[in-house]
Amino acid sequence: MKLVVAGFGQCGGRIAEEFARLNKRARRHRGIEIVIDAFAVNTDSADLAGLRAIKTDYQHRILIGAGSTHGHGVAKISEAGAEIAKEDADKVIDAMRTTKQFFEADAFLLVAGTAGGTGSGVTPVMAQVLKQRFDKPVYALAVLPFEHEEETEERALYNTAVFLKSTYSVADAVILVDNQRYVRKDFSLKNNLDKINALIVEPFYNLLCAGEEKKVKHIGARMLDTGDIVNTLAGWTAIGYGKAPLPFRTLLSRWTGNFMQKSAQTHLGVQAMDEAISELSIGCSSQDACRALYLVSAAARMINVDLVKELGNHLKNLVPKAVIRNGDYPRGKGVLDITLVLSELSDVEKVRNYYSKSVDLAKEISKRQKVKASKVELTEEAGKDIPTLL
């Protein structure tokens, strides 16, 4: 599957960078193109200047709203970001069209952090415009705020709720990513963020590569391609990745069919599947998924009918209501890995919590604005008889 990736705001731009790196990796090691082009869109010029992997020209690092923000951002006001997007949407689309292979893309992936003003405000507007202009799926990768942001920045909660409601109504699927699930306590802040962004993007690697594979020996018996992905992704979505290192003796020997080896192989597959479920990008109940997809990747001699059957049965027990699609990708040595997608989730507790908290918060913000306006009027009234020097 080939994507056009656009990152909005600081968080979105940095993750779009990771997709650009992912494409370079696929091109270098596999001769495959999975990201047609990657763009960073922002109202803050300093954030754009801090990127490294995205091309430096103005058609890939796109500054919008310069007339109103002067390149200094929207200060977490998502409404301002949305208004700027409505005015400058054509600027973004025209930049995307400059890509030579633009129309080869199978879908758009819009990436944003939900807590900020630019990402949360611009993304739903751009998703709507792209849906109107092009007959291609539009997916959103929504990066939810950290716990400390939720606890100390009420605007982050409000922006997130508005983003989720707005984007869900227009995008074909919203892939939810909970930042807090990726935090590593022993990393510095910068290293943590870099590591988190890499972990967010990693599950997409094999998933996108499998359907674009050109070498016969790496094409699976059941190839998972763009059609499978498009027919799986819908509504609230989670993605996960798990892997099981192969025992050293297995790497040295040919697969003999011994029942002990067969059992160990199946166990490794289930182990990787369980890790993928536990490492899903958002906490959710697997039983709430109406669609699911898994891709098993390992050396060709490790993938057989028994393994695929066991993985399918194991997943079916976990997602009893879901339509399950699967594929195999004979790539890699020394590890068996699973990419898992749970989609069309009927309930996501974290999304519900954002909505319920933000209902009262929206009323409180409106009340504060009215109180502030009334106090300003009182102050002006008190000074109406004072002469002015102007």
Share of the chain above pLDDT 70, in %: 88
Q: What is the mean pLDDT of residues 16-41?
A: 96
Both tokens of 199, joined, read 């972990």
Q: Confidence band (pLDDT; 50, 70, 90) for 363?
A: low
Higher pLDDT among residues 361 and 51, named by residue: 51
pLDDT reading at 231 higher than 80: yes
pLDDT reading at 184 higher than 80: no
Classify residue 176 by its DSSP letter. Answer: E
pLDDT at 13: 96
Q: How far apart are CA 216 and CA 210, in angstroms?
A: 12
Q: Confidence band (pLDDT; 50, 70, 90) for 255?
A: very low
pLDDT at 257: 54
Both tokens of 69, joined, read 């923000």
Which pLDDT tens digit goes with each residue over 63-107? 999 988 888 999 899 999 999 999 999 999 999 999 989 999 999
Q: Confidence band (pLDDT; 50, 70, 90) for 252?
A: very low
pLDDT at 56: 93
Both tokens of 296, joined, read 């098993």
Place of tokens 């510095």: 188
Q: Provide the whole-model pTM.
A: 0.90
Q: How far apart are CA 235 and CA 347, in angstroms?
A: 10
Q: Confidence band (pLDDT; 50, 70, 90) for 190?
A: low
pLDDT reading at 290 higher than 90: yes
Cα atoms found within 13 Å of the Cα of residue 132, Cβ hemisphere only: 9
Helix orientation angle between 259-278 and 305-318, rounded to the nearest 10 degrees: 40
Domain 3-201 and domain 237-345, same fold? Reply is no
Domain 3-201 is in which class? alpha beta
pLDDT reading at 247 higher than 80: no
Average pLDDT, the chain: 89
Q: How far apart are CA 3 and CA 20, in angstroms?
A: 11
Residues 237-345, CATH architecture: 2-Layer Sandwich (3.30)
8 Å CB contact between 336 and 246: yes
pLDDT reading at 253 higher than 60: no
Q: What is the mean pLDDT of residues 178-196?
A: 76
pLDDT reading at 237 higher than 50: yes
pLDDT at 251: 47
pLDDT at 299: 87
As a 3-state breakdown, the chain gives helix, strand, coil percent values, each rounded to 5, of: 50, 20, 30
pLDDT reading at 188 higher than 70: no
Q: Confidence band (pLDDT; 50, 70, 90) for 256?
A: very low
8 Å CB contact between 293 and 228: yes
Query: Taking the mean position of all CA atoms in its chain, how far away is CA 13?
Result: 12
Which pLDDT tens digit goes with each residue over 134-160? 999 999 999 999 988 888 888 899 999
Domain residue spans of the chain:
3-201, 237-345
pLDDT at 303: 87
pLDDT at 365: 65
Which pLDDT tens digit goes with each residue over 36-65? 999 999 999 999 999 999 999 999 999 999
Furthest CA-CA distance within the chain = 99
pLDDT at 306: 86
